[in-house]
Copies of this chain bind each other. A is one copy, B any other.
């Protein structure tokens, strides 16, 4: 028998890009979200919600919004988040590779996968595009843990056949059979999806990139997930290693890896026509601001990417990124954009973290807003989750202000609840936060 639940509270979702469509923002202070077996039946004013016999009613004291999507994160790096002092290439050799070597152990991998998914859910992230390690067992561990939580999650085994310690390397040109096997076992199993995951051009031979490209051509329904132009040293390295490719993006183009469902993390140092080429191929970019600031990589050019027609999602890029929180990631994104003299509007930031990311990943028929028929992954946001946020919220005069304050000041505590596939997957623990009087955010105008 099906279960129907009527979730009551303030409703916020974006049905379109708020910079091109002023009607995109849907804000319903007295709203209802009707969910049947993990599927959205209705979202809108509570007064207009269909009456369904036997529907359970839950009143939420907060803002019901679509779950966040994190389009670039490394689950094995959970425990080296915020490690000291390195830039990209040293980071990999000094921290990442020694750690990832341990993920041949299925018990260890399973433990970290569980903790990782708990942490992203604590931060309101309901879908993520995730690097495992080069080990099949670590990829299995991730998918098992995500399956248990009914999550729509995209993951993949790393492909590396050079430039890393031997125990992490595939056979030369290899790793493809394992990837195919993982696709067979996990792609479209429940809500799981697979990504062919070459780490980056530096750690794959031509033979491996070519084989990965062939697999990507044969399986257009599968993702490609890799890194692109994050750091100047890395770019110089690639230029040397692939002198015939023109530029870094050209390496991936040469091997057929730039196509729909290809996700390129970072894309900071791009040639003039780079974003145009990505847009034409329907490839997308993951903007990873906390990582870019923490590793000192540089500033992603959000405006240029969007102007060229590239779909952009956020990536926390943990462990190079310093927070699992998508709110903190937006705040860091604001700083990066400010560094390019173009402040990031909070509605655009929320769009990028929800429907924008779903569009980038071609999952917008299932995720990203509360259209009827979409999957019921949502969060309950608490705009007064710390004393200072409560004061700041009380001083807000518009929804724009309130969202911006939440992204700048919010952290895991701002996520009161996370619902996955219609079921409660995380509820904030600890005492209720202190709030102050006369906090009337539900009446705010956009």
Query: Footprint of B on A, CB under 8 Å?
Result: 78-85, 115, 118-119, 122, 293-296, 322-324, 331, 334-335, 338-339, 341, 343, 346, 386-388, 391-392, 394-395, 400-401, 404-405, 408-409, 411-412, 429-431, 434
A-B residue pairs in contact (CB < 8 Å), sample of 28 = A79-B392, A79-B394, A79-B395, A80-B392, A81-B388, A82-B392, A83-B404, A84-B343, A84-B404, A85-B343, A115-B387, A119-B387, A293-B293, A293-B335, A293-B338, A293-B339, A294-B335, A294-B338, A296-B335, A296-B339, A296-B341, A296-B343, A322-B331, A322-B409, A386-B412, A429-B431, A430-B431, A431-B431
Residues in chain B near residue A386, CB distance under 8 A: 412
A338-B294, A429-B431 given; A82·B409 CB < 8 A:
yes
Contact B293 A115 (CB under 8 A): no
How many copies of the polypeptide does the oligomer hold? Answer: 2
Q: Which of B82, B118, B343, B400 contacts A387 (CB 8 A)?
A: B118
Residues in chain B near residue A322, CB distance under 8 A: 331, 408-409
Residues in chain B near residue A411, CB distance under 8 A: 411
> Residue of B at shortest CB range from A344?
B85
Q: Whole-angstrom distance from the CB of A266 to the nearest CB of chain B?
A: 16
A234 CA / B119 CA spacing, docked (Å): 43
Interface of A is mostly: helix
Contact A294 B85 (CB under 8 A): no
Residues in chain B near residue A430, CB distance under 8 A: 430-431
A293-B338, A322-B408, A408-B322 given; A122·B387 CB < 8 A:
yes
Residues in chain B near residue A85, CB distance under 8 A: 343
A388 CA / B323 CA spacing, docked (Å): 9
Q: Which of B324, B334, B392, B434 contacts A388 (CB 8 A)?
A: B324
Q: Whole-angstrom distance from the CB of A406 to the nearest CB of chain B?
A: 9
Q: Whole-angstrom distance from the CB of A268 to the nearest CB of chain B?
A: 13
Q: Whole-angstrom distance from the CB of A230 to the nearest CB of chain B?
A: 14
> Residue of B at shortest CB range from A293?
B335
A198 CA / B234 CA spacing, docked (Å): 47
Which 10 A-B residue pairs are closest in the complex by CB-CB distance? A82-B408, A296-B338, A430-B430, A85-B343, A430-B431, A293-B335, A79-B395, A84-B404, A322-B408, A82-B409
A343 CA / B296 CA spacing, docked (Å): 9
> Residue of B at shortest CB range from A82?
B408
Residues in chain B near residue A338, CB distance under 8 A: 293-296
Residues in chain B near residue A341, CB distance under 8 A: 296
Contact B346 A405 (CB under 8 A): no
Q: Whole-angstrom distance from the CB of A186 to the nearest CB of chain B?
A: 26
Residues in chain B near residue A115, CB distance under 8 A: 387, 391
Q: Which of B79, B294, B409 contacts A81 (CB 8 A)?
A: B409
Residues in chain B near residue A78, CB distance under 8 A: 388, 391
A400 CA / B388 CA spacing, docked (Å): 30
Residues in chain B near residue A339, CB distance under 8 A: 293, 296
A387 CA / B339 CA spacing, docked (Å): 32
A294-B338, A429-B431 given; A388·B119 CB < 8 A:
yes
A401 CA / B79 CA spacing, docked (Å): 12
A104 CA / B160 CA spacing, docked (Å): 65
Q: Whole-angstrom distance from the CB of A439 to the nearest CB of chain B?
A: 13
Residues in chain B near residue A80, CB distance under 8 A: 392, 395
Q: Whole-angstrom distance from the CB of A64 to the nearest CB of chain B?
A: 23
Tell me which of A322, A387, A388, A400 has the highest count of chain B C-beta atoms within 10 A of its own C-beta: A388
Residues in chain B near residue A122, CB distance under 8 A: 387
Q: Whole-angstrom distance from the CB of A68 to the nearest CB of chain B?
A: 16
Residues in chain B near residue A82, CB distance under 8 A: 392, 404-405, 408-409
Contact B81 A346 (CB under 8 A): no
Q: Whole-angstrom distance from the CB of A323 to the nearest CB of chain B?
A: 8
Q: Whole-angstrom distance from the CB of A388 to the nearest CB of chain B?
A: 6
Q: Whole-angstrom distance from the CB of A117 to the nearest CB of chain B?
A: 12
> Residue of B at shortest CB range from A394?
B79
